[in-house]
Copies of this chain bind each other. A is one copy, B any other.
């Protein structure tokens, strides 16, 4: 590790306050070097953190954390915040089991004001904190830092609508970098860009504002008249009235890499004692040429080589790759197929489809709720919409799936990526709830392919042979290929003659398969491809076995394991039924294989549990 002249002296926010601007400039360089060095080793979010170095320093110099609360939206841009709030010595442990989280965590530091991970929550939280401050007579500030991508989420607007009518000490820093995870293409983004195109705006606005704020001798009427002409001028030149119409004072745009300008505008907003929006302009990946040129690929990275920037793409195919390729194929043959993403076209593998069928590809912004209802509208007119989305983010659209799609009887396909344990992103991002929340919705059909062949079959089956809402769910990471046998879309029974049936699905099936093949006494093995609903034929097949055990990578409550037991019991099953699921808990960050082991779902644990099951007596008449 390099020795850093300034950074080595920074152990808490107060240490920043005495620094001169030349020292701060050096510190920014050191922080960037620190970030690149560490993230190249640990993996993590890079481009967004390189873009918010100066902002973080400015916030901690102008405000007093933890008295003042800084809420980072999503939180993947909070690394510098972690570094200057006493956590730089633990940075090597970032995103590792037991280590620093890649997101703000109140349990980790008093400076992390709110747990974040999902998008667009910061204004709600910061506004509530500002209300709490007001109620308790605390003169502290609440600051939300939100990107233009997160600002496309409806929650942000709901909160703005609320907060704008208050007189609270609330400051919203809108970080405009024109790049959410994929390109942000909404009307609002266009609007922000229009403002940015007029660099003289702030200066002009500044002078009038400052004058109005600092001339106490002027009467109210004169001030109002001046403000009005200022508004007119502003509108004529820049149309920057969106936020003001919602009740916020607006400052910006400010160069987000100009330390002094940032601090000045924050101080001005601080003086206001009322809700303010500050629009800052930053460059994602700032200071690291590879990341500046290609912020998309440097958004979230695996460990890489600092010198060349290479090494972050996996060599073999992932589930997402195969999904993307398969949908492209289907889209070629059928012009009714439309693809929808909530700002995740690259992550979900939809970029292939997007490039080929621009007309039928819809990036709706970070707006999962709208995405599902939008899919429903397309379906209502006879199209075949496919919404590709991460399991954890689909949680946002529970009501829309239930109400607009399922109750509406509309045929849409949800391609659920990152289903199961996701690893380093940790407890806010685990895809272990979708089985539970989707099976609570009537008329759902859920597939869980575990091989390339099954993925293709499931998509076809889901689009053409099923009705209503169909989900095809699959994990992060490398997909498997079938080595023998024929792919099926319902289930696959191997070694059918035995008194013990082992059931699994998805990624976990491969572990179960390996476990069984290491045993002397091999049980029957049932792979579910369609995991929901459980039909009568499948049920009677399962009920033939005196012993049944299910291995499942999902929380217990609402799992297939629970539903299957209930169905077996109703059918009069009297055998021994066991299942191993994830506990009803928040699964922490860490390597996927480490976490599977911890929760007894690795090959060794599976073997041991099978051996235990052999010992159990059945309730079957002997």
Contact = CB atoms under 8 A, between A and B. Distances in A.
Q: How many copies are assembled?
A: 2
A127 to B, nearest CB: 7
A614 interface: no
Contacts of A409: 106-107, 115
Contact of A566 (B114, B362, B565): B565
A524 interface: no
Contacts of A362: 131, 162
Contacts of A380: 106, 113-114, 125, 128-129, 132
B433 A129 contact: no
A561 B566 contact: yes
Contacts of A165: 185-187, 190
A159 interface: yes
A126 B377 contact: yes
B574 A619 contact: yes
A563 interface: yes
B161 A367 contact: yes
Nearest to A405: B115
A135 B235 contact: no
Q: Which 10 A-B residue pairs are closest in the complex by CB-CB distance?
A: A154-B154, A128-B377, A164-B187, A132-B381, A436-B440, A158-B367, A158-B370, A395-B399, A124-B373, A115-B408
A242 B248 CA distance: 14
A562 B557 CA distance: 9
B558 A566 contact: no
A248 to B, nearest CB: 8
Nearest to A410: B115
A161 B192 CA distance: 12
Given A374-B128, A557-B558, A161 B135 contact: no
A562 B555 contact: no
A359 B232 CA distance: 35
A158 B162 contact: no
Contact of A400 (B121, B185, B400, B433): B121
A552 interface: no
- Chain A interface size, under 10 / 10 to 19 / 20 to 34 / 35 or more: 35 or more
A360 interface: yes
B381 A129 contact: yes
Contacts of A117: 403, 407
Contacts of A164: 186-187
18 contacts: A115-B408, A124-B369, A124-B370, A131-B377, A132-B377, A154-B156, A155-B369, A161-B186, A162-B187, A191-B246, A241-B241, A369-B396, A398-B398, A398-B399, A402-B433, A433-B440, A437-B440, A562-B563
Contacts of A163: 187
A441 B432 CA distance: 10
Given A128-B376, A161-B367, A403-B428, 6 more contacts: A106-B409, A136-B382, A162-B187, A162-B364, A163-B187, A436-B558
A470 interface: no
Given A129-B381, A132-B383, A569 B565 contact: yes
Interface in A520-578: 533, 555-558, 561-563, 565-566, 569, 574, 577
A619 to B, nearest CB: 6
Interface string A121-154: 1001111110111011000000000000000111
A427 interface: yes
A290 interface: no
A378 interface: yes
Nearest to A404: B121
